[in-house]
Amino acid sequence: MSHYGAMTSFAVVAEGLRKRYGDADALDGFDLAVPEGTVYGLLGPNGAGKTTAVRILTTLLRPDAGRAVVAGFDVVTQPDRVRHGIGLAGQQPTVDEILTGRENLEMWGRLYHLGAAAARRRAGELLERFGLAEAAGKRVRHYSGGMRRRLDLAAAFILAPRVLFLDEPTTGLDPRNRNEVWQAVRGLAEAGSTVLMTTQYLFEADQLAHRVAVVDAGRVIAEDTPERLKSTVGGDHVDLVLRQATDLAAAARVLAGVAGAEPVTDHDALRLTVPVRDRIAALTRIMRELEEDGVEVEDVALRRPTLDEVFLSVTGASGAPVGGDGGGSGSGATGGRTTAGRTAA
Protein backbone atom coordinates (compact mmCIF):
# COMPACT_ATOMS: atom_id res chain seq x y z
CA MET A 1 0.00 0.00 0.00
CA SER A 2 2.95 2.25 -0.60
CA HIS A 3 1.10 4.27 -3.22
CA TYR A 4 -1.16 5.90 -0.61
CA GLY A 5 -0.42 9.46 0.39
CA ALA A 6 0.43 10.31 3.97
CA MET A 7 -2.88 12.16 4.48
CA THR A 8 -5.13 9.43 3.03
CA SER A 9 -8.17 8.66 5.18
CA PHE A 10 -9.52 5.12 5.20
CA ALA A 11 -13.14 4.01 5.43
CA VAL A 12 -12.21 0.35 6.00
CA VAL A 13 -9.09 -0.98 7.68
CA ALA A 14 -8.37 -4.64 8.46
CA GLU A 15 -5.22 -5.82 10.18
CA GLY A 16 -4.26 -9.46 10.52
CA LEU A 17 -7.79 -10.87 10.41
CA ARG A 18 -7.99 -14.60 11.00
CA LYS A 19 -10.95 -16.96 10.85
CA ARG A 20 -10.78 -20.73 11.05
CA TYR A 21 -13.44 -23.32 10.31
CA GLY A 22 -12.36 -26.71 11.63
CA ASP A 23 -8.98 -27.45 10.06
CA ALA A 24 -9.31 -24.81 7.34
CA ASP A 25 -8.21 -21.17 7.51
CA ALA A 26 -10.81 -18.98 5.78
CA LEU A 27 -8.72 -15.90 6.61
CA ASP A 28 -5.03 -16.13 7.41
CA GLY A 29 -3.65 -12.68 8.16
CA PHE A 30 -6.03 -10.65 6.01
CA ASP A 31 -4.99 -6.97 5.67
CA LEU A 32 -6.93 -4.26 3.85
CA ALA A 33 -7.08 -0.45 3.69
CA VAL A 34 -9.86 1.13 1.63
CA PRO A 35 -9.53 4.90 1.01
CA GLU A 36 -12.62 7.01 1.62
CA GLY A 37 -14.69 8.02 -1.39
CA THR A 38 -13.45 5.24 -3.67
CA VAL A 39 -14.80 2.14 -5.36
CA TYR A 40 -12.66 -0.75 -4.17
CA GLY A 41 -12.70 -4.18 -5.83
CA LEU A 42 -12.15 -7.41 -3.93
CA LEU A 43 -11.22 -10.26 -6.28
CA GLY A 44 -10.33 -13.87 -5.67
CA PRO A 45 -11.08 -17.47 -6.63
CA ASN A 46 -13.75 -19.58 -4.96
CA GLY A 47 -12.72 -20.23 -1.37
CA ALA A 48 -10.26 -17.33 -1.25
CA GLY A 49 -11.89 -15.72 1.80
CA LYS A 50 -13.69 -12.73 0.26
CA THR A 51 -17.12 -13.47 1.69
CA THR A 52 -15.70 -14.31 5.11
CA ALA A 53 -13.89 -10.97 5.10
CA VAL A 54 -17.05 -9.08 4.12
CA ARG A 55 -19.08 -10.85 6.82
CA ILE A 56 -16.53 -9.81 9.44
CA LEU A 57 -16.35 -6.23 8.16
CA THR A 58 -20.16 -5.95 8.30
CA THR A 59 -20.35 -7.46 11.84
CA LEU A 60 -22.14 -10.62 10.70
CA LEU A 61 -19.20 -12.73 11.86
CA ARG A 62 -16.58 -12.34 14.59
CA PRO A 63 -12.90 -12.82 13.72
CA ASP A 64 -10.77 -15.27 15.67
CA ALA A 65 -7.93 -12.76 15.68
CA GLY A 66 -6.95 -9.43 14.22
CA ARG A 67 -8.70 -6.08 14.16
CA ALA A 68 -10.99 -4.22 11.77
CA VAL A 69 -12.31 -0.65 11.79
CA VAL A 70 -15.18 0.33 9.49
CA ALA A 71 -16.63 3.84 9.20
CA GLY A 72 -14.46 4.79 12.18
CA PHE A 73 -15.63 2.04 14.55
CA ASP A 74 -14.27 -1.32 15.68
CA VAL A 75 -16.32 -4.21 14.29
CA VAL A 76 -15.96 -6.29 17.47
CA THR A 77 -16.25 -3.73 20.27
CA GLN A 78 -18.58 -1.27 18.51
CA PRO A 79 -20.75 -3.37 16.16
CA ASP A 80 -23.89 -1.24 16.57
CA ARG A 81 -22.00 1.91 15.58
CA VAL A 82 -20.58 0.09 12.55
CA ARG A 83 -24.04 -1.09 11.44
CA HIS A 84 -25.39 2.44 11.49
CA GLY A 85 -22.57 3.61 9.24
CA ILE A 86 -22.74 0.96 6.52
CA GLY A 87 -25.03 -0.64 3.98
CA LEU A 88 -24.86 -4.16 2.60
CA ALA A 89 -26.48 -5.47 -0.59
CA GLY A 90 -26.24 -9.16 -1.46
CA GLN A 91 -26.13 -10.78 -4.86
CA GLN A 92 -29.86 -10.96 -5.54
CA PRO A 93 -32.19 -7.93 -5.31
CA THR A 94 -34.96 -8.72 -2.82
CA VAL A 95 -37.20 -5.71 -3.23
CA ASP A 96 -40.93 -6.46 -3.03
CA GLU A 97 -42.31 -6.94 -6.55
CA ILE A 98 -45.89 -6.22 -5.48
CA LEU A 99 -45.05 -2.74 -4.21
CA THR A 100 -44.06 0.26 -6.31
CA GLY A 101 -40.52 1.59 -6.23
CA ARG A 102 -41.58 4.44 -3.97
CA GLU A 103 -43.50 2.12 -1.63
CA ASN A 104 -40.46 -0.14 -1.30
CA LEU A 105 -38.21 2.70 -0.23
CA GLU A 106 -40.79 4.17 2.14
CA MET A 107 -41.24 0.73 3.71
CA TRP A 108 -37.49 0.43 4.33
CA GLY A 109 -37.45 3.95 5.72
CA ARG A 110 -40.10 3.01 8.27
CA LEU A 111 -38.18 -0.17 9.15
CA TYR A 112 -35.22 2.10 9.83
CA HIS A 113 -37.51 3.94 12.29
CA LEU A 114 -37.91 7.06 10.16
CA GLY A 115 -41.21 8.88 10.54
CA ALA A 116 -43.71 8.72 7.68
CA ALA A 117 -42.82 12.18 6.36
CA ALA A 118 -39.07 11.55 6.64
CA ALA A 119 -39.39 8.15 4.91
CA ARG A 120 -41.40 9.74 2.10
CA ARG A 121 -38.85 12.53 1.68
CA ARG A 122 -35.89 10.15 1.70
CA ALA A 123 -37.58 7.85 -0.81
CA GLY A 124 -38.04 10.79 -3.17
CA GLU A 125 -34.40 11.81 -2.85
CA LEU A 126 -33.16 8.30 -3.58
CA LEU A 127 -35.48 7.76 -6.53
CA GLU A 128 -34.03 10.90 -8.12
CA ARG A 129 -30.46 9.96 -7.24
CA PHE A 130 -30.71 6.48 -8.77
CA GLY A 131 -32.59 7.55 -11.89
CA LEU A 132 -35.89 5.92 -10.90
CA ALA A 133 -38.13 8.96 -10.40
CA GLU A 134 -40.14 8.35 -13.58
CA ALA A 135 -40.78 4.73 -12.57
CA ALA A 136 -41.52 5.51 -8.91
CA GLY A 137 -45.23 4.70 -9.24
CA LYS A 138 -44.76 1.45 -11.16
CA ARG A 139 -44.88 -1.92 -9.44
CA VAL A 140 -41.43 -3.45 -9.23
CA ARG A 141 -42.52 -6.56 -11.15
CA HIS A 142 -42.55 -4.32 -14.23
CA TYR A 143 -38.96 -3.11 -13.65
CA SER A 144 -36.01 -4.33 -15.71
CA GLY A 145 -33.20 -6.21 -13.98
CA GLY A 146 -31.04 -3.09 -13.89
CA MET A 147 -33.86 -1.01 -12.41
CA ARG A 148 -34.45 -3.58 -9.67
CA ARG A 149 -30.77 -3.63 -8.83
CA ARG A 150 -30.65 0.17 -8.65
CA LEU A 151 -33.71 0.13 -6.39
CA ASP A 152 -31.92 -2.41 -4.19
CA LEU A 153 -28.89 -0.08 -4.00
CA ALA A 154 -31.18 2.83 -3.17
CA ALA A 155 -32.70 0.82 -0.30
CA ALA A 156 -29.21 0.25 1.07
CA PHE A 157 -28.79 4.04 1.20
CA ILE A 158 -31.85 4.88 3.29
CA LEU A 159 -29.63 6.07 6.15
CA ALA A 160 -26.93 7.45 3.82
CA PRO A 161 -24.20 5.02 4.97
CA ARG A 162 -20.60 6.09 4.72
CA VAL A 163 -19.61 2.65 3.39
CA LEU A 164 -21.59 0.38 1.07
CA PHE A 165 -20.67 -3.29 0.67
CA LEU A 166 -21.78 -4.87 -2.61
CA ASP A 167 -21.58 -8.59 -3.27
CA GLU A 168 -21.54 -9.40 -7.00
CA PRO A 169 -23.52 -6.26 -7.93
CA THR A 170 -24.29 -7.19 -11.55
CA THR A 171 -24.60 -10.98 -11.47
CA GLY A 172 -27.14 -12.11 -14.05
CA LEU A 173 -27.65 -8.70 -15.68
CA ASP A 174 -27.43 -8.09 -19.40
CA PRO A 175 -24.93 -5.47 -20.70
CA ARG A 176 -27.46 -2.62 -20.76
CA ASN A 177 -28.67 -3.24 -17.20
CA ARG A 178 -25.11 -3.78 -16.03
CA ASN A 179 -24.13 -0.35 -17.37
CA GLU A 180 -27.05 1.21 -15.47
CA VAL A 181 -25.77 -0.29 -12.21
CA TRP A 182 -22.20 0.78 -12.99
CA GLN A 183 -23.39 4.34 -13.47
CA ALA A 184 -25.19 4.24 -10.12
CA VAL A 185 -22.09 2.88 -8.34
CA ARG A 186 -19.88 5.57 -9.88
CA GLY A 187 -22.37 8.18 -8.73
CA LEU A 188 -22.15 6.92 -5.16
CA ALA A 189 -18.37 7.35 -5.09
CA GLU A 190 -18.57 10.77 -6.75
CA ALA A 191 -20.98 11.84 -4.00
CA GLY A 192 -18.40 10.84 -1.36
CA SER A 193 -19.47 7.32 -0.40
CA THR A 194 -17.03 4.43 -0.20
CA VAL A 195 -18.00 1.25 -2.07
CA LEU A 196 -16.35 -2.10 -1.37
CA MET A 197 -17.48 -4.70 -3.87
CA THR A 198 -16.73 -8.33 -4.54
CA THR A 199 -17.06 -9.35 -8.15
CA GLN A 200 -16.40 -12.37 -10.33
CA TYR A 201 -16.15 -10.15 -13.39
CA LEU A 202 -12.63 -8.82 -13.74
CA PHE A 203 -13.67 -6.40 -16.47
CA GLU A 204 -16.18 -4.97 -13.98
CA ALA A 205 -13.42 -4.22 -11.49
CA ASP A 206 -11.41 -2.68 -14.32
CA GLN A 207 -14.34 -0.43 -15.23
CA LEU A 208 -15.35 0.62 -11.71
CA ALA A 209 -12.62 0.19 -9.13
CA HIS A 210 -10.11 2.87 -8.21
CA ARG A 211 -8.12 0.15 -6.45
CA VAL A 212 -8.21 -3.65 -6.50
CA ALA A 213 -7.12 -6.29 -4.00
CA VAL A 214 -6.57 -9.88 -5.11
CA VAL A 215 -7.36 -12.37 -2.34
CA ASP A 216 -6.09 -15.94 -2.24
CA ALA A 217 -5.79 -18.47 0.59
CA GLY A 218 -7.26 -16.02 3.09
CA ARG A 219 -4.94 -13.09 2.52
CA VAL A 220 -4.38 -10.18 0.14
CA ILE A 221 -1.60 -11.14 -2.28
CA ALA A 222 -1.72 -8.10 -4.58
CA GLU A 223 -3.18 -4.61 -4.20
CA ASP A 224 -2.97 -1.49 -6.33
CA THR A 225 -4.76 0.49 -9.02
CA PRO A 226 -5.93 -1.62 -11.99
CA GLU A 227 -3.39 0.08 -14.27
CA ARG A 228 -0.44 -0.56 -11.94
CA LEU A 229 -1.50 -4.16 -11.43
CA LYS A 230 -1.71 -4.69 -15.17
CA SER A 231 1.76 -3.22 -15.61
CA THR A 232 3.18 -6.01 -13.39
CA VAL A 233 2.49 -8.63 -16.07
CA GLY A 234 4.30 -6.73 -18.79
CA GLY A 235 3.58 -3.89 -21.14
CA ASP A 236 1.81 -4.56 -24.41
CA HIS A 237 0.59 -7.92 -25.62
CA VAL A 238 0.39 -9.28 -29.16
CA ASP A 239 -2.68 -11.36 -29.96
CA LEU A 240 -2.66 -13.57 -33.06
CA VAL A 241 -5.55 -15.54 -34.52
CA LEU A 242 -4.52 -18.11 -37.13
CA ARG A 243 -6.44 -19.58 -40.02
CA GLN A 244 -5.25 -23.15 -39.53
CA ALA A 245 -4.62 -25.23 -36.42
CA THR A 246 -1.65 -26.87 -38.11
CA ASP A 247 0.22 -23.54 -37.88
CA LEU A 248 -0.06 -23.19 -34.08
CA ALA A 249 3.28 -24.82 -33.28
CA ALA A 250 5.17 -22.77 -35.88
CA ALA A 251 3.54 -19.53 -34.74
CA ALA A 252 4.36 -20.32 -31.11
CA ARG A 253 8.02 -20.76 -32.01
CA VAL A 254 8.09 -17.39 -33.76
CA LEU A 255 6.41 -15.58 -30.87
CA ALA A 256 8.70 -17.19 -28.29
CA GLY A 257 11.76 -16.27 -30.34
CA VAL A 258 10.76 -12.63 -30.72
CA ALA A 259 9.30 -12.00 -27.27
CA GLY A 260 11.60 -14.20 -25.21
CA ALA A 261 8.57 -15.73 -23.46
CA GLU A 262 6.33 -18.68 -24.15
CA PRO A 263 2.98 -17.58 -25.63
CA VAL A 264 -0.36 -18.58 -24.15
CA THR A 265 -2.19 -20.72 -26.69
CA ASP A 266 -5.95 -21.16 -27.02
CA HIS A 267 -6.19 -24.18 -29.31
CA ASP A 268 -9.94 -23.94 -29.79
CA ALA A 269 -9.85 -20.28 -30.86
CA LEU A 270 -6.55 -20.66 -32.76
CA ARG A 271 -5.29 -17.72 -30.69
CA LEU A 272 -1.82 -17.03 -29.29
CA THR A 273 -0.90 -14.25 -26.87
CA VAL A 274 2.53 -13.06 -25.73
CA PRO A 275 3.84 -9.95 -23.88
CA VAL A 276 6.28 -7.74 -25.79
CA ARG A 277 8.51 -4.81 -24.89
CA ASP A 278 9.00 -2.75 -28.05
CA ARG A 279 5.53 -3.10 -29.52
CA ILE A 280 6.12 -1.84 -33.06
CA ALA A 281 9.47 -3.54 -33.58
CA ALA A 282 8.17 -6.80 -32.10
CA LEU A 283 5.00 -6.80 -34.18
CA THR A 284 6.92 -6.01 -37.38
CA ARG A 285 9.38 -8.84 -36.79
CA ILE A 286 6.63 -11.31 -35.82
CA MET A 287 4.61 -10.64 -38.97
CA ARG A 288 7.71 -10.85 -41.18
CA GLU A 289 8.83 -14.19 -39.72
CA LEU A 290 5.33 -15.65 -39.86
CA GLU A 291 5.09 -14.72 -43.53
CA GLU A 292 8.49 -16.29 -44.20
CA ASP A 293 7.29 -19.51 -42.52
CA GLY A 294 4.07 -19.52 -44.51
CA VAL A 295 1.84 -19.09 -41.46
CA GLU A 296 -1.52 -17.58 -42.39
CA VAL A 297 -2.84 -15.00 -39.90
CA GLU A 298 -6.55 -14.29 -39.62
CA ASP A 299 -6.22 -11.36 -37.19
CA VAL A 300 -3.55 -9.55 -35.18
CA ALA A 301 -3.81 -6.96 -32.40
CA LEU A 302 -1.68 -5.03 -29.92
CA ARG A 303 -3.30 -4.44 -26.53
CA ARG A 304 -2.68 -3.72 -22.87
CA PRO A 305 -2.79 -6.64 -20.40
CA THR A 306 -6.09 -7.38 -18.66
CA LEU A 307 -6.98 -7.91 -15.01
CA ASP A 308 -7.69 -11.53 -15.97
CA GLU A 309 -4.00 -11.93 -16.77
CA VAL A 310 -3.03 -10.18 -13.54
CA PHE A 311 -5.25 -12.54 -11.58
CA LEU A 312 -3.86 -15.66 -13.27
CA SER A 313 -0.33 -14.37 -12.76
CA VAL A 314 -0.51 -13.53 -9.06
CA THR A 315 -2.60 -16.55 -8.02
CA GLY A 316 -0.80 -19.06 -10.21
CA ALA A 317 -4.22 -20.21 -11.40
CA SER A 318 -4.92 -21.78 -14.76
CA GLY A 319 -8.29 -20.31 -15.50
CA ALA A 320 -10.22 -20.95 -12.28
CA PRO A 321 -13.32 -18.80 -11.97
CA VAL A 322 -13.15 -15.71 -9.83
CA GLY A 323 -16.26 -15.67 -7.67
CA GLY A 324 -17.69 -15.99 -4.20
CA ASP A 325 -16.25 -18.27 -1.58
CA GLY A 326 -19.24 -19.92 -0.11
CA GLY A 327 -22.28 -17.79 -0.82
CA GLY A 328 -23.18 -14.15 -1.06
CA SER A 329 -22.26 -11.88 1.77
CA GLY A 330 -25.77 -10.61 1.90
CA SER A 331 -27.18 -14.02 2.64
CA GLY A 332 -25.03 -14.98 5.64
CA ALA A 333 -26.74 -14.84 9.00
CA THR A 334 -29.72 -12.90 7.80
CA GLY A 335 -30.86 -15.12 4.97
CA GLY A 336 -31.31 -12.58 2.20
CA ARG A 337 -31.34 -8.90 1.50
CA THR A 338 -29.62 -6.98 4.24
CA THR A 339 -28.31 -3.60 5.15
CA ALA A 340 -26.51 -3.44 8.42
CA GLY A 341 -28.82 -0.90 9.96
CA ARG A 342 -31.81 -3.20 9.41
CA THR A 343 -30.78 -5.69 12.04
CA ALA A 344 -32.72 -3.72 14.63
CA ALA A 345 -35.91 -3.67 12.61
1 pLDDT band, cuts 50/70/90, is very low
Domain shared by 240 and 226, yes or no: no
Q: What is the separation, in whole angstroms, between the first and last Cα of the chain?
A: 38
User: Domain for residue 285, yes or no?
Assistant: yes
Number of domains the chain is built from: 2
Predicted pLDDT at 327: 39
Q: Read off the pLDDT of each residue in 9-37 and give the average, rounded to a whole number.
A: 96
* 213 & 85 share domain: yes
Q: What is the CATH number of the domain that holds 240?
A: 3.30.70.100
Q: What pLDDT score was predicted for residue 63?
A: 98
User: Per the domain annotation, does 299 fall within a domain?
Assistant: yes
pLDDT at 4 (0 to 100): 56
pLDDT band at 184 (very low <50, low <70, confident <90, very high): confident
Higher pLDDT, 286 or 322: 286
Which pLDDT does position 317 carry in this prediction?
A: 58
Q: Is residue 1 part of a domain?
A: no
Q: Are residues 148 and 175 in the same domain?
A: yes
pLDDT for position 211: 95
pLDDT at 156 over 80: yes
Indicate if 72 and 94 belong to the same structural domain.
Answer: yes
Q: In terms of domains, do 185 and 252 share one?
A: no
Residue 297 lies in a domain: yes
In the chain, pLDDT over 90 holds for what percent of residues? Answer: 56
Query: Looking at the structure, do residues 151 and 225 belong to the same domain, yes or no?
Result: yes
pLDDT band for 51, please (50, 70, 90 cuts).
confident
Please tell me whether residues 179 and 159 are part of one structural domain. yes
Does 3 reside within a domain? no
Instruction: Tell me how far apart the alpha carbons of residues 166 and 199 are, in angstroms, rounded to a whole number.
Output: 9
Greatest Cα-to-Cα distance within the chain, rounded to the nearest angstrom: 78
**What is residue 195's predicted lDDT score, i.e. its pLDDT?**
95
- Segment 13-19 mean pLDDT: 98
- Complete DSSP assignment for 49-70: SHHHHHHHHTTSS--SEEEEEE
Quick one: 185 and 78 in the same domain? Answer: yes
Helix, strand, or coil (residue 278): coil
Angle in degrees, 0-180, between the axes of helices 101-111 and 116-129, rounded to the nearest 10: 130
Verify that 180 and 246 share a domain, yes or no: no
pLDDT on residue 335: 31
Amino acid occupying residue 202: L
Q: What confidence tens digit (pLDDT) does each residue in 242-290 have?
A: 999 999 999 999 999 999 999 999 999 999 999 888 889 999 999 999 9
Statement to judge: residues 62 and 98 lie in one domain: yes
pTM (predicted TM-score): 0.72
Distance of alpha carbon 269 from alpha carbon 274, whole angstroms: 15
Give the DSSP letter string of 25-54.
EEEEEEEEEEETT-EEEEE-BTTSSHHHHH
Residue 336: per-residue pLDDT:
34
DSSP β-ladder status, 194-198 and 219-224: unpaired
In a shared domain, residues 148 and 294? no
Summary mean pLDDT of the chain: 85
Give the residue numbers spanning the domain of 257.
Answer: 236-304
Q: Are residues 270 and 133 in the same domain?
A: no
Q: Give me the pLDDT at residue 101, please.
A: 96
Query: Residue 343 pLDDT > 50, yes or no?
Result: no
Task: Find the radius of gyration of the CA atoms of the chain.
Answer: 23
In a domain? residue 4: no
Examine residue 142 and state whether it is found in any structural domain, yes or no.
yes
Choose among 219, 239, 247: nearest CA to 309.
239
Residue 2 within a domain: no
Who wins on pLDDT, 288 or 330?
288
**Which CATH number covers residue 222?**
3.40.50.300
Strand stretches in the chain, DSSP E: 10-21, 24-35, 39-43, 65-70, 73-74, 86-89, 163-167, 194-198, 211-216, 219-224, 236-242, 264-266, 271-276, 297-303
